[in-house]
Amino acid sequence: MLTIRTAEIDDVPAIAAVHVDAWRSTYTGIIPQHYLDSLTVQNRSSGWVRLLERSEPGSFTLVSEGHDRRIIGFVSAGPSRSHRRFFQGEISQLYVQPAFHRSRHGRRLFLAAANRLAEAGNIGMIVWVLAENPARGFYEELGGVKVGETTRPFAGVLLREIAYGWEQIPQYG
């Protein structure tokens, strides 16, 4: 059975492990290898503790658990950081353990975050994705439309990002 629930401080090591594994799997050849090699569960954990403890108003992190209660993935969302008129909500992170890609964990996390953003009164939402991310089509399959593009410096290189938007957050049952 797959369970989606609000993340807790005790979940930090498992969230950090998913984060590190997903980045190393997804972004090899996209993000400089020295940066990926520097990622550890320990250094990601300290960031996650800060994120969960400070919890900005309207922001949240959800985790997906497998039948054995092991955390398989997570999603973080809240108010849009880009302040675009039609996109008040934003999914800022969504990662699933590589062994569980295409197992519906990512889809269920996305839908749960979309529902929570809509319940908070957000009309539209946005997500920024690295242009070279091989899983970018995931957001297109969920109805996201390309609404922007930018290039940002990261770890000594310029990375192109694409924004997918939903002017009306679909309600998922």
Task: Give the residue extent of every domain in the chain.
Answer: 3-166
CATH number of the structural domain 3-166: 3.40.630.30
pTM, 2 dp? 0.93
Closest CA to 161 of 72, 92, 88, 73: 92
Closest CA to 40 of 72, 65, 13, 4: 13
75-112 pLDDT, tens digit per residue, is 999 999 876 678 999 999 999 999 887 778 899 999 99
- Does residue 17 register a pLDDT over 90? yes
Q: Which amino acid is at 113?
A: A
Structure tokens at 59: 């922001």
112-158 pLDDT, tens digit per residue, is 999 999 999 999 999 999 999 988 999 999 999 999 999 999 999 99
Q: Is 152 helix (H, G, I), strand (E, B) or coil?
A: strand
